[in-house]
Amino acid sequence: MALALLALLPIEEAAAHPPFAGATGFYGGLLHPLFVPIHALAVLGLGLLIGQQRPRWRWPVPVAYAAGLGTGFAAMISAFAPQFSAEVLLAVAAIIGALIALARPVPALVGSVLALVVGIALALDSPPGGISVRDANVILLGTFCGAVILLWAVLEVAGMLRGDWQKLAVRIIGSWVAASAVLVLTWRFAR
Amino acid sequence: MRLLRWGLRASLLLMLTPVPAAAHTGSLSGGFLGGFTHPLFGPDHVVAMVAVGLWGAFLGAPAMFVLPIVFPLVMAVGGVLGILGVSLPGAEIAIAASAIVLGLMVASAARPPLWLAATIVGAFAIFHGYAHGAELPAGTDAAAYSIGFVMATGLLHLTGISLGLTVRWPAGRVGVRGTGAAIACAGLVFLWRLA
């Protein structure tokens, strides 16, 4: 819990200095999901939800997430112009946060669909800043790895939260994820 | 004792967090830090949030967990209204009133049914969220700002719960009820200033 909170703290600095400014190439892509608040929020929520729904949810949900990332990046490489990917990501993050807060059993199929959408939206919302196709592909590869590692890290931490109080802390963080996502989504439509 | 330790850790985090962040930014406007400090620099928000935690601890399980979950979710609804510019008359009065009502609930050791406690807290959450949403600075990184103020609000609840857990001891019970009375008095001062 403390580690999760601390992980969110560098967001201010990251927002002021996007990872691409100082960290380019594979490393810049690797850091992208961690330092873009919307992405970190969605992956944090997904990881906590998967951890909360264990053992009902097994490998298909994380695999659906990775498949979504791959699909999104493939679409981007194919010059697909994404629209509203950030908004979709926020909407799904709000649903995921609400599900965590409710802490009710959720079918694995629903989890897989949510994970797939998070993966696709996150990938489409991560356009590379490379000046050549090769640079762009390296950045995308880094983003893919970063997004997978981030989910894996959250999953590992969530897997340790088995105590009653820790489960409640997860539900509270879920309500924070939902509230933050709803607010940012509204702001994006209102601006 | 384990819960108390977790609560104290959360409180410690709450105290520690602004320090390193401020060292990097040099500005308290916008972004995560702007959102995080927004509830902390508003005494009316601080006392009401702490009162929610205190009341939750006083009510015990399951209210202790339900209230900190309900508050952010309903607060988001208020935040949406504020961001959209929907007029919500008397928001500042309602925020001051929240300190009075919640403080009195703690001071009087009121134990209403859970649904009523959640409704009272949820109703005030709308006004607190509205204020945060309406005061979102232009040009701010909305994502970082929103995450910041939701986190700060939640950590204030946890601080209240941590303090409230001392009700298991007689002296702690007196202290918590006294804190509730002080919060209600602070609410009266906020209301008087608005008049």
pLDDT of A46-79, one tens digit each?
A: 999 999 998 888 788 999 999 999 999 999 888 7
Residue-number span of the structural domain to which B95 is assigned: 2-8+30-194
Q: Which residues of chain A have pLDDT under 70?
A: 1-23, 130
How far apart, in whole angstroms, are the C-alpha atoms of residue B2 and residue B61? 15
Mean pLDDT across chain B, nearest whole number?
A: 82
> In chain A, which residues have their Cβ closer than 8 Å to the Cβ of B148?
11-12
Q: Is residue A62 part of a domain?
A: yes
How far apart, in whole angstroms, are the C-alpha atoms of residue A74 and residue B164? 53
How far apart, in whole angstroms, are the C-alpha atoms of residue A30 and residue A23? 9
Q: Is residue B85 part of a domain?
A: yes
Q: Is residue A7 part of a domain?
A: no
Over residues B29-49, mean pLDDT: 84
Number of domains in chain A: 1
> Best residue in A162, A183, A184 to probe B by mutation, most B CBs within 10 Å?
A183
Report pLDDT digits (tens) over B126-135: 999 998 888 8
> In chain B, which residues have their Cβ closer than 8 Å to the Cβ of A179?
72-73, 75-76, 79, 146, 150
Chain B within 8 Å of A172 (Cβ-Cβ)?
yes
Q: Is residue B16 part of a domain?
A: no
Q: Is residue A16 part of a domain?
A: no
Q: Is residue A17 part of a domain?
A: no
Report pLDDT digits (tens) over B107-159: 998 899 999 999 999 999 999 999 888 887 776 678 888 888 899 999 999 99
Is pLDDT of B19 > 80? Answer: no
Determine the 3-state secondary structure of A107 from DSSP. Answer: coil
Q: Is residue A182 part of a domain?
A: yes
Chain B within 8 Å of A95 (Cβ-Cβ)?
no
Q: Is residue A11 part of a domain?
A: no
Number of domains in chain B: 1
Query: Number of C-alpha atoms within 13 angstroms, CB side, residue A12?
Result: 26
Q: Is residue B124 part of a domain?
A: yes
Q: Is residue B21 part of a domain?
A: no
How far apart, in whole angstroms, are the C-alpha atoms of residue B16 and residue B163? 18
Q: How large a percentage of chain B has pLDDT more than 90?
A: 41
Specify the higher pLDDT residue, A14 or B164. B164
Q: What's the DSSP call for residue B165?
A: G
> In chain A, which residues have their Cβ closer than 8 Å to the Cβ of B152?
none
> In chain B, which residues have their Cβ closer than 8 Å to the Cβ of A8?
32, 147, 151
Over residues B43-71, mean pLDDT: 88
Residues of B near A (Cβ–Cβ under 8 Å) read 2-3, 6, 9-10, 13, 17, 20-21, 24-25, 31-33, 65, 68-73, 75-77, 79-80, 83-85, 133, 136, 141-144, 146-148, 150-151, 154, 158
A:B CB pairs within 8 Å: 121
pLDDT at B30: 62
In the block, tokens 């009087």 appear at: B108
DSSP B37-80: HHHHT-HHHHHHHHHHHHHHHHH-TTHHHHHHHHHHHHHHHHHH
Q: Is residue B19 part of a domain?
A: no
Residue-number span of the structural domain to which A171 is assigned: 23-190
